[in-house]
Amino acid sequence: MMNENIFDPEKATIVSELKLTHQEKLFKIQLDNGESLNHKPGQFVELLAPGYGEAPISVTSSPTKKGPFELCVRSVGTVTNKLHQMEEGDKVGIRGPFGNGFPVDFLEGKDLLFIGGGLGIAPLRSLINYVKDNAENYGESTILYGCSEPSERLFVDEFSTWRQCDDFRCDETVDSCPVDVDWEGKVGVITELIPGVDFHPATTYAIICGPPIMYKFVMQELDEANLPDDHRFLSLERRMKCGVGECGHCQIGEYYVCRDGPVFNYAEIKDEEEAL
């Protein structure tokens, strides 16, 4: 059982760390009490680097995978820079899981269109693998992924695995490719992949996560495809601190991303100026 005081971190240990790109690492973490995190896909934790503070990180592993959980961490600040210096066996603190997560029960029986940009594939990975492990409960899944260049691609091996699943389709693109890099895939922004997907708006739900600038253009493409507003779920990236809606750092209009999200239905927030 996690600590009853939500502000008191649970002790945990880094089981392994794997370099994915020059700025992202995949950490496998085990709670010292031996329990699983018992999160929902789309939830996040507050990760404490002792002596340096804490940072909100989405859980990237599926809850169907018991034992240690996984966090994909980009080195962008004091806490995450310190974490990138830590090794197997080092101690960290964990608060959470927090947030609402993706509506896995509601999505049963639906066709799913995953749209991930950059690090946004990390929280989507949790749901993608959850759907893969419960494939009999879901329709067809299409995964669209875009990043800045080939060296920035995340979870490359898993894309190969997903492509082999009967009900999964994957397509990738990069914004640009250096002339000295061997890349046989597509070059262009992620929105250029959407018109190439054959889906039925009445039975398809889009699951979207990526950098803030991406959402506006993805919404425009989904409008063109006649996908209803309430068939779109977005995981929003905002500066979260407390994790429980107390500090106000992540407030957008009447919503707190950490408490009411981070997953929102587009129909709920489309009129909130600060949301997208």
User: Which residues are within 8 A (CB) of 161 and not within 5 positions of it... i.e. 6 or more apart?
Assistant: none
Closest Cα partner for 209 from 253, 168, 264, 153? 264
H/E stretch holding 94 reads strand 91-98
Tokens standing for 102? 């993706």
**Residue 250 marked ligand-binding:** yes
Packed helices 156-163 and 121-133: angle between N→C axes, nearest 10 degrees: 30
Q: Cα–Cα distance between 101 and 243 in angstroms, integer?
A: 13
Q: Is 130 exposed, middle or buried (0-12, 13-18, 19+ CB in 10 A)?
A: buried
Cα Dmax for the chain? 54
Q: Cα–Cα distance between 208 and 233 in angstroms, integer?
A: 6
Tokens standing for 267? 């129909």
**Residue 247 marked ligand-binding:** yes
Q: Cα–Cα distance between 96 and 154 in angstroms, integer?
A: 25
H/E stretch holding 132 reads helix 121-133
- C-alpha gyration radius of the chain: 18
Annotated binding residues for [2Fe-2S] cluster: 242, 247, 250, 258
Annotated binding residues: 242, 247, 250, 258
